[in-house]
Every structure is written in structure tokens, then in C-alpha cells.
Chain A
Amino acid sequence: MTAYTLPNETGHFGQFGGMFVPETLIKAITELAAAYEVAKQDPEFNLEMERLLKEYVGRETPLYFAENLTKYAGGANIYLKREDLNHTGAHKINNAIGQALLAVRMGKRKIVAETGAGQHGVATATVCALLNLECIIFMGEEDIKRQALNVFRMELLGAKVVGVTSGSATLKDAVNEALRYWVANVDDTHYLLGSVMGPHPFPLIVRDFQSVIGKETKQQFLARKDCLPDAVVACIGGGSNAMGMFHPFIEEEEVELYGVEAAGQGIDTAFHAASLTKGKPGVLHGACMYVLQDKDGQIQEAHSVSAGLDYPGVGPEHSHLKEIGRANYHSITDQEALDAFQLLSKLEGIIPALESSHAVAFAIKLAAELGPSKNIVVCLSGRGDKDVDAVRARLKGGNK
């Protein structure tokens, strides 16, 4: 494969990406792109980033050989990249720290963010506490109900959580409201977007900050096995942990990339979040990407047992990797994810986030398919403590 240099200067990944935002935001995102280009060349910025990732987040995260899970799956070796061991319990903090440092550089001391499951909201509130930034988080009322503990966590960290009742009252609507807030407060506020979506330069910035996942994985795997893994697997909502894992491997053609979407109650029902599998290219939240939509271009609601995957679009770079066939995208149902959630807990003593459980469920199938002597790395993007209540309720309800 020739050198992979996307996005281009205008933020496009092939036909995807771009900056489809109201004119009011153009100045802010142009300034952000320029500030990022300078910051990433600045040794001081990078040193501060590295310091915080090491001392505050606890990087690097381990690459763990899941021997019991491997035996269970009966095929390829399964390794887990333990992003669940990061401070705040998920990969989201990698990006939150980077963008918050960028905001401070730009002289913006107010942060607005959206959150679905609350993981990005918690990561953002955490970093704002650390750097003494004002923090306002938009969260759908439905998600506030599903993730009450994370709401309290954010408030404890000093953030203001605003419930969103418009539309489906989930992540997509929280993004709408955060964008509206940003339009009205753009002078002194940075929008700390949590995934590889939105207008350019967000998909680029978030990917770069999350690429630490793939870079570490590559080094760790090489150091241990003196080769690269045969496949890497990650779950996809907006797609940030997957993009962070994939990006350092894109030019390594022998490494297969697998993204796992939420099939919810099944991709042939109306209740799923499989944007790449069932969606069409469209424009939402500032970017051209695969979107779940009806024939008239109205955005449809996504459904998943996991609030973090409950989004009707997927980042433009994933849309592009699908289009050129560099990455493979599959889906896992709610039930399969719930099974994997319990399985990993019992077999390895690791309770995964429901989001990450989708990747685990797919990896088990893939391991059997690839057979022994092959190696798979799963991005275990978050820990499952936040989901324990919801899973317990479902299991009690006879869903098993």
C-alpha cells in the first residue's frame, strides 16, 4: 500500500469527511486546525501530553494474552489491549487530555462536550477539573436515565450536565445541542468532541490523540512476538477507539482490521446501530459519512444495549476504509454482547464495557475462523463497572 496520508488539506477522506457546518463555526474550526498543526510540532506540547498520559492516565496500558478466552474460542491467540485500565476507565481520556491542552493553548477556558454512555463526559469533566476549565456536558435524557451514576460522577468532578429532551434524547441529540451551544458561545468555548466524527479537523485530531492505542500495541506485540498481529478488532460507535487502534496499522497490509458495530436486536430489525452495514453516505454533524437514514434523508434513531454505540453515523475515515476495502466491518447483537460481557468476566476476571463486549464477541468468532497460530488483538476500550446495573436488570428480566 502506498503511504496513507489522509485526510487531505480540506479534511476529506475520499468522498467522506469535510466541514459541513454553519458559517458561524468556520472561524473556530479553522483556528482549531491551525492551532493543532502548530501544537503537534511543538516539543513542549508533546512532552506535556506524554507526561499526563504516563503520570495521570497510567499509560502505557498492558497488552494482555487472554489464555483462558483463547482456549475457550479454540483458535487464534487472543490478546487484549487494556484501555479499560486507563484513568476514568476507558480510552476516551486519551483524546480529552489532548484537546483540553489544545484549548488552553488557544486561550479557551470553557469546554462543551456531548456524551452518550457518559464515558466521554466523565473523561472531559476529569480533564477540566485537572486543568481548571469550566465544563458543560450535554447528555440525552434517555442516557441520563440509563447512566445515572456517570451523571453524578461528572457533577462530582465539577461539570454542569444539561439534559437534552429533543429528538430521541440520546447521543445524536446531545451532539446537536452541543453544536448549538458552541455556535452561540464560540468566542471563549472549545467543543471537545469525543469521537472521530464531526467537521474537519475533529476526525483528524481525535484519531491522532487515540493513535497511542495502536502505536503501543504495535510496539508491545513486536517486542513480544517479533511480528505483527494477524488481525486487530475494535468496537465502533462513532469509531474513536477503533480508529486509534487501526491507524498505525493501515499501511501494514498483512494486518486485517475489523470494526464491530452494534447490531442491537438484529440488523434486519429497525433496532440497531450498524451505520456501515445498513446506512448510506450522508451528511450529519458536520461530515459526510455513513448514516442511518430513511429514503428522504431524515436521520434515523440508533438502538443498542450499549449507550456508547448508540449513534446513527460512523466517522468519515471508517466510511472511507470501508469504501476502499482496507477495513472489514461486522456487527454483533445485544445478546451476543451480553454473553461476551459475562464470558470475559468469568473466564478472565475482567468485566468489559458493553461497548467493548461487542469486540470481544466478534473476536471469539474470528479466532475460531482463523485457527491456531494466528494472533488477534482486541481493543478492550473500557471497563464494565458502569454497565453492571443495566446488565443485572436485563438478566433478571429473563433476557438470558
Chain B
Amino acid sequence: MNRIEQTFQLLKKNQAKAFVPYIMAGDGGLDCLVERLKLLEAYGAAAIEVGVPFSDPVADGPTIQQAGIRALNNGTTLKGIVVELAKAREVVKIPIIIMTYLNPIYAYGITSFIHDIQKAGVDGCIIPDLPIEEEEMIAPELTAAGIELIRLVTLTTPLERIKQIAARGSGFLYTVTVKGITGTRNEFAGDLNAYLQAVKEVSPIPVLAGFGISNHEQMVTISKYCDGVVVGSKIVDLFAKNSLAEMKKLMSVFKQKTNIV
């Protein structure tokens, strides 16, 4: 059984929700990546999304764009990240999921990339600019390697299509909670809860909500209707400011509620 599946089974058994932080690899220097992943695991992360910097991140807001530019200026490459993730695998037990735009994988070579991340012990892959119409170029090889392709659905995805995407599902279904790009938000659309419920109802795999989530209140509300949350820009911001105490507190939200993980 894949590490992601195991994690969600355990969470389910404990009736707990998943907190999945996103981190920009290479922001602050690639050599601190392993330490940061260890820290996030210690703070209670259920899994970690490791972002790969890209020159043209069209799905990302200013916080992650800036972090990506800092990482690229540090000379961060996808090859370098994979090397670090192999080291991380020796000390981090929770699932590691790579989140990258397609072109860095394309340049790496799809087959070499999958070979290398499998060897590095990566559990999943999120590619925000790869809709199901185009995934044939990579999905079968990922599946063969036992790496979960995490697919996204959004507020604009019609219910029929949500069903189609969820049915292909591996790992978990990443539900985008805003019409827009990544970044913290004060408010969500009024119909968000109904949307999450609808997604949860048709999905055979766990449902995580992400984009725009940055505080306890949002997490508690949103996680009522799904299996957990992904928090990106806020975590990136807290690492950039080195506000580790605040990060620890932010990530304790579900532990306080459930006393598990």
C-alpha cells in the first residue's frame, strides 16, 4: 500500500483531519530543505507538498511567485530537489508529494524524472497545468512506478467532470476552494461548503481543500466538509519570516481538536 493511502487510513481510523503544508523547495537555500521537512513532520503534517520553482507559475499568487524567484536565484533545480528528497526520505516518514508545473518535468525527461523520484521515495505528484485531457503523457508511467498523480478539481468544474476526475483518482482529490490563484484570502464564496460536500459525496478517495486557506477558523470550517486542508502561501510566508512558533501553533489546529496524529 502506498504511503499516502496508509496515512489517510490512519487518519480515518483516528477520525482526524489532514494538515498538509506546502513548501517552496530552495527558498532559503536548498540545503535547508531536509531540515524544514523534518520540522513540518514534527509539527504534525500528515504529508508535505514540495513545490518546485518555475519561471512562469500561472496558478500562483505573489507569495509563491516571490518564493519561487528566490529559489531560482539560489540556483535551485528539479534535479537538485530530487537529490535532497532522497536524503529526506531517510529521516521523514510521512508522504512527500512533489508539486511542479509540467515544463521542468518535460525538460528533465518524463521517464528519467519518474525513475529518479521513485528511487528518492517520493509518493505523489501534483501538476497544476496538466488537466486529465493531457495526462496520458505521464499518468501511466507514474502509476506503474507506484507514484500517485494527485488531480485537482475546482469551483468551475461541473459535477459530471468532478465524478470523472475523482474516479481516476489516486492519493487524494485536491479541491481548489477559490476561483483564482494561490494566496491567502479573508473570505470564501458562500457556496463553498455545499461544493465541498458535493465533491466529498462523489469522490471515492479522500478530499483535501486548498488555495487561500491561512487561519484556524477557515481550517476548522472547511475541514468539516472534507478530509483536511492544504496550506501553501501562509507556510511559505512563515518560513520566509522564520516565524516558527506561529507555524507550530497554526499546524496544531487539528491536534487540539482530535488529540491524534
Contacts and interface: CB of A to CB of B under 8 A. Distances in A.
Interface of A: 10, 18-28, 166-167, 172-173, 176, 179-180, 183-187, 280-286, 288, 291, 293, 295-299
Nearest to A20: B129
A166 B57 CA distance: 11
Given A27-B156, A296-B78, A296-B79, A179 B58 contact: yes
B56 interface: yes
Interface stretch (B38-46, B174-182, B241-249, B253-261): B174-182
B176 A18 contact: no
Contacts of A298: 54-55, 72, 104
B129 A283 contact: yes
B134 interface: yes
Interface string B151-187: 0111111100100000000000000101111000000
A65 B228 CA distance: 69
A167 B72 CA distance: 12
The B contact surface, by secondary structure, is: loop
B102 A20 contact: yes
B205 interface: no
Contacts of A10: 133
Contacts, number: 115
A283 B106 contact: yes
B117 to A, nearest CB: 15
Bin the interface of chain B by size: 35 or more
Contacts of A186: 156, 179
Given A24-B156, A167-B55, A298-B55, A18 B103 contact: no
Given A20-B131, A23-B153, 14 more contacts: A19-B131, A19-B134, A20-B102, A23-B154, A24-B154, A167-B55, A183-B59, A184-B178, A280-B107, A284-B56, A284-B103, A286-B129, A295-B107, A298-B55
20 contacts: A18-B133, A19-B134, A20-B129, A20-B131, A20-B134, A21-B129, A23-B157, A24-B180, A27-B156, A172-B56, A180-B180, A180-B181, A183-B180, A184-B178, A296-B78, A296-B79, A297-B54, A297-B78, A297-B103, A298-B72
B108 to A, nearest CB: 7
Contacts of B158: 27
Nearest to A172: B56
Nearest to B60: A180
Contacts of B79: 296
Contacts of A283: 101-103, 106, 129
Contact of A26 (B77, B106, B131): B131
Contacts of A179: 58
Residue among A19, A172, A173 with the highest chain B CB neighbour number at 10 A = A19
B130 interface: yes
Residue among B128, B129, B180 with the highest chain A CB neighbour number at 10 A = B129
B30 interface: no
B233 interface: no
A24 B179 contact: yes
Given A184-B180, A296-B79, A27 B157 contact: yes
Interface in B47-75: 54-59, 61, 65, 72
Contacts of B11: none
Contacts of A297: 54, 78, 103-108
Residue among B57, B79, B130 with the highest chain A CB neighbour number at 10 A = B130
